[in-house]
Amino acid sequence: MAAPDHAGGFRTMRRRIRWALAAFVVASLVLLGACQKTAPDGPKGSQAESVPAGGGKGASGAEVAPSDGRQDAAPAKALKKLKLYEVTHSLFYAPQYVAKNLGFFREEGLDVEIVSGEGGDKVTTALLSGQADLILVGAEMAVYVNAQNPSDPIVVFARLTQRDGSFLVAREPMPNFRWEDLRGKAYLAQRKGGMPDTIAQHILRKHGLEPGRDLEYLQNVDYANLAPAFMAGTGDVVQLFEPFASQVERAGKGYVVAGLGEEAGTVLYTSYLTRRSRLETDRDAFVAFTRAIARAQTYVLEHDDATVYKALKDDFSGLDREVALKILERLRSQDVWSHDPLPPKEDYARTLELIREAGRLEHPLPYEAVVDPTVAEAALAR
């Protein structure tokens, strides 16, 4: 069996990034022309201040009503608007939905709109084109984009998850599972070039298995169709995120045999990214956003699964309560959620090493070229 084409995957990603950068330039020129033709209606606040639960002044000095713990507690017109594109909609990002539903964003003077972008390439393009103010995606996307030396780099300013949140699902029960048991099997894998794929390949090599040689490594199915393809008969094992892993189990079509997060260790996993120019002009808004995320991370760590589920259930109304609780328990057992939003330098170095090991690191960038830890530091300082 031929080894997977890592270089081809990187070239494809690089072409997508170049197209996204071109789209960003065109969009900027159009917006510039519009701004020259139209005078502004009046001053607009570009910075958000922390607003106590009892009320206070928001991003532009407007009064913000006290929060009652729900996202609709204050009028939207008084708040600084931020549009956030998330790579996918998942309980893996539980602290983010806690921050929204318990009013933590609004108490910081922010009105955060969350859009499901359905893929790392898509949300990164949304950021580069100006559709998104910030994105939640794997930190490796900043490495790939900034390796192209753009005029306005993207920056990792906060981390949400610290470990991979995917699980290995087998078609048949595999009691006392060992990774070596996958020799000769067909592994239905995640998207080529993403951190889930990078981490899976690292784990396999760690256990003496070369993808494409010692086991069949299938990457011809897109993310949304991995679970249906597996249930239809493709592969002996599949790497899935929740809720898909639990749904396959519930359908009697597979068995969760391992979690990749615990095996791989901590990295800069799903993180918040924005353009450097936005970080400079709207720094206070991003500090306020990060402070709300930090508060939500603490909430998730300090409360049991039933309490966390109650705080985010409105975002997952189609998910059975018992399944949701099982997912939260499974994720907690893997220690996937960052304990604070700081993006550690040592975890960035480990992320780069994993990308290099997978053959996708053309231009290793220093920490400072990709990450700005001062936003999270400022958020935690008060």
Per-residue buried b or exposed e for 19-38, using 16+ beta carbons within 10 Å of the residue's own CB? ebbebbeeeeeeeeeeeeee
β-strands 80-86, 110-116: how paired?
Answer: parallel
Range with lowest mean pLDDT among 53-62, 206-215, 295-304, 363-372 = 53-62
Q: 164-264: CATH homologous superfamily? A: Periplasmic binding protein-like II (3.40.190.10)
**Cα–Cα dist 291/294, whole Å:** 5
Share of the chain above pLDDT 90, in %: 72
Q: Between 134 and 58, name the one with better pLDDT.
A: 134
| Topology match between the domains 74-162+267-380 and 164-264 | yes
What pLDDT is stored for residue 72 in this prediction? Answer: 53
Instruction: Please give the DSSP secondary-structure letter assigned to residue 161.
Output: B
Q: Between 131 and 224, name the one with better pLDDT.
A: 131
Domain ranges of the chain: 74-162+267-380, 164-264
Phi, psi of 291 (to 5 degrees): -65, -40
Give the pLDDT confidence of 78-110 residue by residue, as tens digits: 899 999 999 989 999 999 999 999 999 999 999
Closest by CA to 110, choosing from 90, 82, 68, 150, is: 82
Banded pLDDT at 3 (limits 50, 70, 90): very low
What pLDDT is stored for residue 77 in this prediction? Answer: 58
| Token code pair at residue 265 | 């260790």
pTM, whole model, 2 decimals?
0.79
| Alpha helices, H only, the chain | 6-37, 94-101, 104-107, 120-128, 140-146, 195-206, 226-231, 244-250, 260-264, 276-281, 283-302, 305-312, 321-333, 345-357, 367-370, 374-380
CATH number of 74-162+267-380: 3.40.190.10
